[in-house]
């Protein structure tokens, strides 16, 4: 009975200690509003499969947009983890657009995609230098694809699709000042499209 009492007392002390340590760890996390800003970049998309109708004829195309253009707005909120670095909540909303010409049937395609990355998270290691590298994972992102096709006879067709995709990204923040951070970023989305983006942007603090 005495041994059981001592064991229970030790277990109680361990629980109290664990609770104290976890409270201390949580109290060490500080939330820091980094700012809002904009992005501009180039997009290399691949893999869109499009159905095109003209009268009684039915065509399938793979639309290979050679190059697209990206614009977006983002917000960054940092969670300082002390010696473990910084985690970021990094949502953004943007659009990219591009075009293609199918040489066999001379059909022109114009693609636009609205992308809402609402659950993007990033991590930066504890480096005490002005350049802050980070890696991130996001998703599912909400994507709205709009593709318009036009053939030489003037026949137009639109397709709109709503879907989800996951993002992988990596980049570097450059702390020019406490309220101004240019950044460069590489981002890839995995879904019906396989998309690679090279992005430059600016985050500035609005308080």
pLDDT per residue as tens digits for the range 118-131: 999 999 999 888 89
Residue pair 130/174 in contact by the 8 Å Cβ criterion: yes
Question: Is there a contact between 198 and 188 (Cβ–Cβ < 8 Å)?
Answer: no
Residue 11 included in any domain:
no
Token pair 């659950």 in the structure block, residue: 119
The answer to whether residue 124 is domain-embedded is: yes
Rounded Cα distance between 177 and 180, Å, is 5
User: Does the residue 7 lie in any domain?
Assistant: no
Please state, in angstroms and as integers, the Cα–Cα distance from residue 148 to each residue in 47, 56, 144, 195, following that order: 16, 19, 13, 19
Enclosing domain of residue 168? 29-204
Tokens matching residue 162: 């709503």
Question: What's the CATH number where 108 sits?
Answer: 2.40.160.20
pLDDT band at 64 (very low <50, low <70, confident <90, very high): low
Is 66 in contact with 100 (CB distance < 8 Å)? Answer: yes
DSSP 93-162: EEEEEEEEEETTTTEEEEEEEEEEE-S-EEEE----SSEEEEEEEEEEEEEEEEEEEE-TT--EEEEEEE
More confident residue, 76 or 44: 76
203 and 173 Cβ atoms separated by less than 8 Å? yes
Number of structural domains in the chain: 1
Q: Is 52 inside a domain boundary?
A: yes
- Within a domain: 198: yes
In a domain, 15, yes or no: no
Please state the length of the chain: 207
Give the pLDDT confidence score for residue 22 in this predicted structure: 37
Domain membership flag for residue 93:
yes
Task: Give the residue among 63, 59, 61, 66 at the shortest CA–CA distance from 47.
Answer: 63
> Could you tell me if residue 140 is inside a domain?
yes
More confident position, 19 or 83: 83
Q: What is the pLDDT of residue 50?
A: 55
**Vertex 73, ends 70 and 34: CA angle to 5°?**
135
Q: Looking at per-residue confidence, does 6 or 202 come out higher?
A: 202
């Amino acid at each position: 009975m005495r041994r059981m009492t001592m064991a229970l007392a030790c277990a109680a002390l361990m629980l109290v200690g664990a609770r104290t340590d976890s409270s201390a760890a949580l109290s060490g996390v500080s939330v820091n509003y980094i700012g809002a800003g904009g992005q501009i970049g180039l997009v290399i998309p691949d893999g869109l499969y499009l159905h095109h109708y003209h009268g009684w004829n039915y065509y399938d195309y793979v639309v290979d947009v050679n190059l697209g253009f990206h614009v977006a707005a983002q917000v960054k909120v940092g969670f300082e983890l002390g010696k473990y670095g910084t985690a970021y909540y990094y949502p953004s909303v943007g659009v990219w657009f591009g075009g293609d010409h199918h040489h066999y049937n001379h059909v022109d395609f114009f693609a636009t995609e609205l992308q809402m990355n609402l659950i993007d998270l990033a991590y930066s290691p504890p480096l005490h230098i002005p350049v802050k590298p980070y890696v991130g994972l996001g998703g599912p992102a909400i994507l709205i694809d709009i593709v318009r096709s036009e053939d030489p006879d003037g026949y137009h067709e639109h397709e709109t699709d709503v879907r989800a995709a996951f993002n992988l990204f990596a980049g570097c923040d450059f702390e020019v000042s406490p309220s101004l951070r240019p950044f460069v970023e590489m981002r890839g989305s995995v879904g019906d499209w396989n998309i690679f983006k090279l992005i430059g942007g600016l985050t500035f603090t609005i308080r």
